[in-house]
Chain A
Amino acid sequence: MDDKTYLSIAYLGMIFAIAIWTWTIVSRSRTLEQRIIAMEESLNVDSIPIDSIAEVNDTGEE
């Protein structure tokens, strides 16, 4: 395999991998957001994000 072919395959593989990675996190973010909004609306709760682990730790609770 000549240098250019070798390099093209390597580059295409990396571009493909990075495209999949980028798309995965964007779609994960959108899906989660849509599901949460739907759940919050149906449960009638506000949407203030709380890190319960940090909160529990701050108050010294187990």
Chain B
Amino acid sequence: MRVKVGELLLAIGFIGLMATLYLAFNWAPSVNINAFESPEAQRIFYWHVPAAWAAFIAFAVLFAGSALWMFKRSPLGWKLHVAGSEAGLACGLMAVWSGCVWGAAEWGTPWDWEDWRLNTFGLLTLLALFLVLGRQSQPDGVESRDTFSTFGLYGFVLVPLTYVATRIWVIRHPGPVIAGEEGSSISGDMALVLMIGALSFTILIVGHIITSMEITKFEQRLERLQKRLDGE
């Protein structure tokens, strides 16, 4: 049986995520119990941060695809837009869900409405949800693609805003541990598990984007066949 690149990457990414899960539970060192309300729940960090990282990759793909469609009318751009919004939704929900679990354990509340970073990231995920649901409920056409691409372009503003919010408006959510302020680094073993998680999520998201682009291509072929059957 022919193995597709996208499916292979999805499988590798998934195995990597399982390995991350195992290492996070059984190998990564515990944090200082005085620094956290719920030290064990901190282990969700090895899933939460890579999921957010993968979501940003997906949102960058969404932005590039939206721009290619808007300015070049590129079929590849539309495929990237579709793949980026679906992958962004999946990874965004992973990051939000894991963040809520961690927040509930650490802060006693799953969400902080006053924290900029949480809210801008939540908005990004909602934007991806709107694009995915909107595309399914609207007939495919130039106008609908233009509308969704416009949202994809303007919505990307939230990405640098979220990045800046992690550094400037740190309220409850901790600041970045990599490339952050002085003294914000993590130990070697923790960084290794985090990197394995980030790499696994990146491979998974690339696999998803490739597979999703193939699905869009199939849908276009199906539409062409339908037109032929209809005698157009």
Q: Name A's B-contacting residues (CB within 8 A).
A: 2-4, 6-8, 10-11, 13-15, 17-19, 21-22, 25-26, 28-29, 32-33, 35-36, 39-40, 43, 45, 47, 49-54, 56-58
Contacts and interface: CB of A to CB of B under 8 A. Distances in A.
B117 interface: no
A29 B86 CA distance: 14
B10 A15 contact: no
A50 to B, nearest CB: 6
B196 interface: no
Contacts of B142: 53, 56-57
Contact of A32 (B4, B24, B86, B215): B215
Interface stretch (B58-66, B169-177, B186-194, B219-227): B219-227
A35 to B, nearest CB: 7
Contacts of A17: 94, 97
Q: From A2, A15, A39, A54, name the one whose CB has the most chain B CB atoms within 10 angstroms.
A: A54
Contact of A53 (B97, B140, B212): B140
A52 B44 contact: no
Interface residues of B, number: 50
A43 B7 CA distance: 29
Looking at chain A's contact residues, the main secondary structure is: helix
Contacts of B212: 25
Given A3-B105, A10-B98, A45-B228, A35 B17 contact: no
A20 to B, nearest CB: 11
A32 B73 contact: no
Interface of B: 4, 6-7, 10, 14, 17-18, 21, 24-25, 38-41, 43-44, 47, 73-75, 78, 86, 90, 94, 97-98, 101, 105, 140-142, 145, 204, 208, 211-212, 214-215, 217-225, 227-229
B110 to A, nearest CB: 11
A16 to B, nearest CB: 12
Given A29-B215, A57-B73, 5 more contacts: A14-B97, A18-B204, A25-B86, A29-B211, A32-B218
Looking at chain B's contact residues, the main secondary structure is: helix
Contacts of B227: 52
A57 B140 CA distance: 12
Given A18-B94, A25-B208, A50-B220, A7 B73 contact: no
Contact of B204 (A22, A33, A51): A22
A43 to B, nearest CB: 6
Contacts of B7: 26, 29
B223 A11 contact: no
A43 B224 CA distance: 12
